[in-house]
Structure 1
Amino acid sequence: MFAIKKRFLGTFTEVFLEDINTGVCVSCIPDHGAQLNHLNLLKNGKSHALLWSAHTAHEFTEQSIPYFSGSHLFPFPNRIDGGRYSFNGDKLKLNCNETSNYNALHGLIFNKPFELQKTETDSAFAKAEFSYSTNTRHPGFPFLYTIAITYTIFKNKLLVETRVRNNDDKKFLFGLGSHPYINTGTSINKLLVQHPGTSSLELNNRMIPTGNTTPDLRFLKAYTLGTTTLDHCFVLSPNHKMAVTRIIDPIKNLNIEIRQENSEGRYNFLQLYTSPDRNSIAVEPMTCAPDAFNNDKGILFLEPEDTYTSYFEIALT
C-alpha cells in the first residue's frame, strides 16, 4: 500500500510517495521548485535507486541545487542568450544566473516554493500535485501564471505531468523542461544510451545554438558511453508517439526508459549531459531548444485563461 510521508532535509521539507512493502518511492522538495530527488522503482521483486539524489541537507544545497538535479524548468529550459529577448514589441531582460557564459539559465521556478494541493493513494499507485502561482510580474517575464507539477508513482513507473495556466490578460511565450540525473551506482562509462534523435544543435562557445544542426546517428542503437562527454541538444521530429531514451546498465541488468510526448507542441527536444564525475547522466525532456525565446525553435504560446499540459515518464523494465 502506498503512503505519503514527510521528512526534514535541513530547512527544506521533503515529501515521499512510497510503498513501504517494496521500497518503491519518489520524493520531491516542494520548497525548492518541487524538485525531484529520490526515485526507486521495482524490477524482479527488488527496488532500485535510479537518480542522483541528496540524502542530507549538505548534499542538497552543495550538489543538487548547483547542478539543477531534478529541477523543473519554466518559462524556458536551458539558456537564453545574454538573458535578452523581445516579445510583442517589448525588449526584456532576464537575470544571467549562468555567470560563466553570461546567460539566463533554466527558467524562473526552480527555486520557488510550491504548495501541496492534493494527494491520492491506493495499493497500486500514489499521486501528489504541487503548484506555484505568481501574483507579481517578473521584470524579465512580466506575466501571471500558475504552474502545477503532479507526480504519480507506480511499482515500475513514474509519471510527471506539468500543467501551466495563463492567469494574465495577455498572451505569453514559454517552454518547459525537466532535469533528472540518472544514476544507478554504476559508472556511466559502462552504461549504454539509445534514443531516436538523428541530429543535434550546433552550439557556440557560450552554449547558444548557431542555427546549424549536426548529424548524429550514434544513439539510434544502444551506444556504450565510455569516455564520451555530452552536453548536447538533440532534435526529435514530432511523430505523435512517445520518444523513448533508454539508459541501459548491463552490470545490474537495468533498462531505464525516459518516455516523452513526441507530437506537435510537446517534448520534441532532448538534452543529454554527462556529469564530470562520470557517475550520472542528465536526461532532459524539453519542449523547445536552447535560446528558444530568440530562435523560436519549439516555442509555445498560451492565451489568457488557457491551460497547457504535457508529461514524461521514467520507467524501469
Structure 2
Amino acid sequence: MIVTLRSGSLSLDLAPSIGGAIAGFRHDGVTLMREIPEQALREGLVRQTCCYPLIPYSNRIAHGRFSFEGVEHRLALNFGDHPHSIHGNAWQRPWQVVEADDARCRLALTHRPDGDEAKGWPFAYRAEQLFAMSPDGLVLTLSLENEDHRAMPAGLGLHPFFPKRPGVRLQFAAERVYPNGEDSLPLDGVPVPDDWNYRTMRELGEPRLDNCFAGWNGTARIAYAQENIALRIEADPLFGHLVVYVPAERDFFAVEPVSHMNDAINRPEPSRHGLKVLQSGERLSAQVRFGVEVLS
C-alpha cells in the first residue's frame, strides 16, 4: 500500500509496509529524492527506497555486539554479508498507519524483543514517524519511546537518498570527521580535509565519502541548477552528526541527519558521542525539515 500526501506543487509517497520508507518526493514532477524501481516496491526492497528511518540507532554496531549496564548483547548481522549490525531494526519492519489525511500521516512501529526479535534489538520500544506537508516542504518528526522495564541506549536518524544529477551542488558545515578503518568502523575524529569540505556550496564530485561528521550545525543544502530547484535540510539540535555517503560511479548519494557517531555504543562515554539513554517510559523526539526552494 502506498500513502500519497500532497500540498501545493509537492507530493510525497509513503510505503508503510516497507520499513516505513519514503517511496517518492516530487515538486511539479521533478524528483527531489532518488527514483526507485517498481521492482523494489513489488519486492519490498527497502534499501532501494528514497528514505528510511534509523531506529533505535544509526549506522554500525561493531560485529553486532555491545555491553550495556553490565549485560552483553548480540544482534543479528542484518546487512547481507556485512560483518556489523547496521541502522537498527525499524527499517526492516512493517509500520502501521495511525492517521492520515491529504497532507499529514503518522506511522507507528511497536517492537517487542520476543524470540528471534531480540536479535534485532533486545529492548521493547515504540517508534513513530509524523510526516507533515506544506507548500514549502516536508517536516518529518521522529520519536522513540522506551517501553521496556529497563533503561536502553537509543538514537535516531534518517537515511535519505538524492539523485546525483550533473552539476548537483552540496553545502554543509561540520567541525570534524571520522575516517574509517578497513573494517568500516570509525577511527578518531580529525579536522575535515579539503576533499571532504563542503562548508562553501560546491559541486558534489566523487569524494568517495561514507563517513560521519561531528559538530554539524544542523543545516545542509542541495542544489540542482539544471532543474532550478534546491532542498534545504534543517535538523533539530539532537541531530549533531551527519553521515554523508557518496559512492563512486553511482547515480545517488545520501545526506543523513543522525544523533550519534557510528558505533557510539562501543566507545568510551557513549553519551559524549551523541548516544542517549532512555529510562523506562522515557521518550526521544526530534524533527528534520526538508524545505524546497525554486531557484531564480
Whether TM exceeds 0.5 here: the answer is yes
Aligned to 2:122: 142
In the TM superposition, 1:76-155 aligns within 5 A as: 76-121=57-102, 126-137=103-114, 138-140=117-119, 141-155=121-135
Deviation at 1:212, TM superposition (A): 3.4
Aligned to 1:248: 223
Q: Distance in 1 between matches of 2:20 and 2:230?
A: 26
Q: Distance in 1 between matches of 2:62 and 2:78?
A: 11
Q: Which amino acid aligns with 2:227?
A: K
The answer to whether the 8 Å contact 1:198/1:220 transfers is: no
Q: Which of 235, 241, 246 is residue 214 of structure 2 equivalent to?
A: 235
The answer to whether the 8 Å contact 2:148/2:280 transfers is: yes
The answer to whether the 8 Å contact 1:33/1:109 transfers is: yes
Q: Which amino acid aligns with 2:4?
A: F
The answer to whether the 8 Å contact 1:171/1:301 transfers is: yes
SS across alignment from 2:187: strand
Aligned to 2:186: 209
Q: Distance in 2 between matches of 1:154 and 1:275?
A: 32
Structure 1 consecutive aligned stretches of length 4 or more whose deviation exceeds 4 Å = 61-64
Aligned to 1:10: none
Aligned to 1:158: 138
The answer to whether the 8 Å contact 2:176/2:192 transfers is: yes
Q: Which of 162, 182, 190 is residue 182 of structure 1 equivalent to?
A: 162
The answer to whether the 8 Å contact 2:100/2:106 transfers is: yes
The answer to whether the 8 Å contact 1:165/1:307 transfers is: yes
The answer to whether the 8 Å contact 1:71/1:178 transfers is: yes
SS across alignment from 1:215: coil
SS across alignment from 2:17: helix
Distance change (3 Å), C-alpha of 1:275 and 1:63: farther
Question: What do the CA deviations read for 1:19-42 (whole angstroms, capped 9, x no partner)?
Answer: 4xx55211111112211111123x
Structure 1 unaligned regions, length at least 5: 1-12
Q: Which amino acid aligns with 1:90?
A: V
Question: What do the CA deviations read for 1:219-248 (whole angstroms, capped 9, x no partner)?
Answer: 1101212232221211125xxxx6211111
Q: Which of 197, 219, 224 is residue 203 of structure 2 equivalent to?
A: 224
Q: Which amino acid aligns with 1:14?
A: I
Deviation at 1:99, TM superposition (A): 4.5
Deviation at 1:90, TM superposition (A): 0.6
Deviation at 1:108, TM superposition (A): 0.7
Deviation at 1:98, TM superposition (A): 3.3
Aligned to 1:54: 36
Q: Which amino acid aligns with 1:300?
A: K
Question: What do the CA deviations read for 1:270-309 (whole angstroms, capped 9, x no partner)?
Answer: 0111244432211111001110111112111111112111
The answer to whether the 8 Å contact 1:92/1:139 transfers is: no
Q: Distance in 1 between matches of 2:247 and 2:14?
A: 21
Distance change (3 Å), C-alpha of 1:278 and 1:109: same
Question: What do the CA deviations read for 1:106-150 (whole angstroms, capped 9, x no partner)?
Answer: 1111021211111244xxxx1110101123344343211110011
Q: Distance in 2 between matches of 1:94 and 1:31?
A: 23
The answer to whether the 8 Å contact 1:37/1:54 transfers is: yes
Q: Distance in 2 between matches of 1:77 and 1:211?
A: 18
Q: Distance in 2 between matches of 1:212 and 1:61?
A: 41
Q: Which amino acid aligns with 1:154?
A: S
Question: What do the CA deviations read for 1:157-187 (whole angstroms, capped 9, x no partner)?
Answer: 1111011111122111011111111127x23
Deviation at 1:269, TM superposition (A): 0.6
The answer to whether the 8 Å contact 1:83/1:93 transfers is: yes
Deviation at 1:18, TM superposition (A): 2.0
TM-score by structure 1 length? 0.83
Distance change (3 Å), C-alpha of 1:63 and 1:274: farther
Q: Which amino acid aligns with 1:306?
A: E
User: Are 1:299 and 2:275 an aligned pair?
Assistant: yes
Q: Distance in 2 between matches of 1:248 and 1:156?
A: 16
Q: Which amino acid aligns with 1:35?
A: A
Distance change (3 Å), C-alpha of 1:171 and 1:208: same
**Which stretch of the first structure deviates more once superposed, 71-80 or 267-276?**
267-276
Distance change (3 Å), C-alpha of 1:287 and 1:68: farther
Distance change (3 Å), C-alpha of 1:136 and 1:93: closer
Q: Which amino acid aligns with 2:200?
A: K
